[in-house]
């Protein structure tokens, strides 16, 4: 059961990253709850701000997710945590961070992202 849940949430999380690579703000927003909260090194962001960063095009050139784990928080709600290596558009240096995202199962199927926190990895 945990393996299936982990794979399902990783698939949805990967779709968020793919939206950052393609610059597709609509695809990004569709994966985030209207009351989504992102906690980042530079502050808080809601769904509109998260998707709005793509108004100028892609923000990520490449990414890799690793060391994923999942914890059930409540029925139809779980937290996915993982390590991400990525390179921003226009930059040569790869960055690494730890991410935790809370997802809720939708009544119509699939999952929606309620919360995400990025923690930069120590260098």
CA dihedral for 31, 35, 39, 45, sign (positive or negative): positive
93 phi and psi, to 5 degrees?
-80, 130
Q: C-alpha dihedral over 93, 94, 95, 98, to 10 degrees?
A: 180
pLDDT cut 70: percent of the chain above it: 99
Mean pLDDT of the chain: 97
Inform me whether the pLDDT recorded for 104 exceeds 80.
yes
d(CA 122, CA 112): 29
The pLDDT value given to residue 5: 96
Count Cα atoms within 13 angstroms, Cβ side, for 43: 4
Q: What is the mean pLDDT of residues 102-106?
A: 98
Q: What is the mean pLDDT of residues 62-76?
A: 97
The tens digit of pLDDT for each residue in 19-63 reads: 999 999 999 999 999 999 999 999 999 999 999 999 999 999 999
Domain range list for the chain = 2-120
pTM score, two decimals? 0.96
Q: Are 29 and 51 in contact (CB under 8 A)?
A: yes
DSSP state of 109: S
pLDDT cut 90: percent of the chain above it: 97
Inform me whether the pLDDT recorded for 64 exceeds 90.
yes
Q: Are 103 and 51 in contact (CB under 8 A)?
A: no
The pLDDT value given to residue 1: 64
d(CA 60, CA 67): 20
Cα 68 off chain centre by: 12
CATH of domain 2-120: 3.10.450.50
The pLDDT value given to residue 24: 98
Q: What is the mean pLDDT of residues 85-92?
A: 98
């Amino acid at each position: 059961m945990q393996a299936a849940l982990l794979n399902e949430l990783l698939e949805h999380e990967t779709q968020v990253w793919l939206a950052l690579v393609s610059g597709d703000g609509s695809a990004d927003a569709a994966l985030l709850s209207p009351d989504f909260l992102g906690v980042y090194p530079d502050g808080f962001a809601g769904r509109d701000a998260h998707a709005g960063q793509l108004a100028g095009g892609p923000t990520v050139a490449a990414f890799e997710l690793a060391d994923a784990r999942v914890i059930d928080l409540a029925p139809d709600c779980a937290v996915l945590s993982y390590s991400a290596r990525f390179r921003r558009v226009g930059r040569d240096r790869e960055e690494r961070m730890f991410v935790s995202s809370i997802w809720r199962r939708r009544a119509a199927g699939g999952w929606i992202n309620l919360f995400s926190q990025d923690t930069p990895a120590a260098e």
